[in-house]
A and B are shown apart, each in its own frame.
Chain A
């Protein structure tokens, strides 16, 4: 054993270095915990969560043109779009159901939408007490999930 090695052992250098490391982890910035219901967690930028049916920001009318492309694109066939014809033969959206319980959040519906009406948002609080709650109608899709917010 070399002399320096011996000195290191006698004065417990390695142990002290370990102690210094654990001590430094006490700084508040090192804490990783997110206090979830109190703090909103940071979701990844490209996270795909709860679907939303967008309205026009000024008129408040739906952007959906009832083209049914999302429904066709969906691998699970969980989107049902129904419409009626107006007098000038235009399609007008009546109901739009989205069965979240079968959704795998692949985002193909979002890609298929020609007018950016259907969008997968970054909301993730979609739990429900019953299966029926997972089937979102047009109103639920337009409002999005409403989790309890805590005051900061």
Chain B
């Protein structure tokens, strides 16, 4: 028994290390993806000089940030100033403990997972407020105030939107929410479209991204709450921001888009979708080859050919039936999260920033009433269904 306990702990530790390492890499390359996608949308090329197609740029950036001087300005509240970025990062990463990446891969399955996630991710705001306050400077303080006001207003709407999902799924556990979507045969987005849209908007606002990036509005507040930060601590804030993007994408995917399930998981006719990972790797290989052919430097062409070869190899590995079944969940989850992350960048390239009063207007006068109405209607419908399980209503809803 003792051994088993130790063994479980070990397993959990291994999983945590895996998730942490992979996430750090993903976040680093998320920055690269953001710069690239943003550049293409603005008719530019983005980073091209560090490595082939700028692929080593995140590593160079990371090294630069680690080696820079960590300035602590005179007059700051030193303890809080040093602590604040760590709070942001810790809160952002802790959330992943409760997120199921696949049916066979999650760190823990807590029965109040959603509550846990909302609670911990809300703690991240302390990092921003404390950082802005302890900086003892105007811009960070204003940025922190805006950030807290924004987060409080949109957290309410997001929370109420999520309640709709809870009512439909009848559970707070992330794993069970996905499983309930499998049982019902539809993703929650089709049952709760309003909640999905509200959560989508609130998620952008909560991560302080465009068009809700008032807390770090460059033209108004220099860099907002992290104006006084430099070097490694600035990198921590950066990491926290991008990790939060991944977090809200993961939550949206799990709650609304069926988590690790493939599209229409109950339709036998679509079983062919099982081979999507193989196709994806082959497609990636083709894309990389196409990129390589356009490359102007001979060395880069060799690199791209090698990379394409690796992709084809991976496609071959994934085509093995055992591996194919094992990667199903993680593949679909990753694809969905990537679509969300892409959308974040897409918004940034498209929408101009809200004015502060507009932001509050949208939050309090539209989002919260809408979320409330959605919650009440959902509750009533769920109640009616539970009271008379075989009525015309349930037949109409197809449950």
Q: Which A residues fall within an 8 A CB radius of B?
A: 15, 18-19, 21-23, 25-26, 28, 30-33, 35, 38-39, 150-152
Q: Give complex CA distance A21, B346 in Å.
A: 11
Interface core residue of A19, A22, A30, A151 (most chain B CB under 10 Å): A22
Q: B41 touches which one: A22, A35, A39, A151 (CB < 8 A)?
A: A22
Which residue on B lies nearest to A30, using beta carbons? B43
B contacts with A, residue count (CB < 8 A): 17
Residues of B within 8 A of A18 (CB): 350-351
Instruction: Select from chain A the residue with minimum beta-carbon distance to B347.
Output: A19
Residues of B within 8 A of A22 (CB): 41, 346, 349-350
Q: Mark B28-45, 1 if CB is under 8 A from A, else 0.
A: 000000000100111111
Task: Report B230 CB to chain A, min CB distance, Å.
Answer: 30
Which of chain B's residues has its CB closest to A27's CB? B40
| Bound Cα distance from A22 to B350, whole angstroms | 6
- The CA-CA distance from A136 to B215 in the complex, in Å, is 57
Check: B323 CB closer than 8 A to any chain A CB. no
Further 11 A-B residue pairs, CB within 8 A, beyond A15-B350, A25-B42, A28-B294: A18-B351, A22-B349, A23-B41, A25-B40, A25-B43, A26-B40, A31-B43, A32-B43, A32-B44, A33-B44, A150-B297
B392 at the interface (CB under 8 A from A): no
Smallest Cβ-Cβ distance to A32: which chain B residue: B43
* A-B pairs under 8 A by CB, number: 44
Complex-state Cα separation, A34 to B294, whole angstroms: 13
The answer to whether A19 touches B48, judged by C-beta atoms less than 8 angstroms apart, is: no
Can you give 27 A-B contacts (C-beta < 8 A)? A15-B350, A18-B351, A19-B346, A21-B350, A22-B41, A22-B346, A22-B349, A22-B350, A25-B41, A25-B43, A26-B37, A26-B40, A28-B294, A30-B40, A31-B40, A31-B44, A31-B45, A32-B43, A32-B44, A33-B43, A33-B45, A35-B48, A38-B296, A150-B296, A150-B297, A151-B297, A152-B296
A-B pairs, top 4 by smallest CB distance, nearest first, are A38-B296, A26-B40, A33-B45, A22-B350
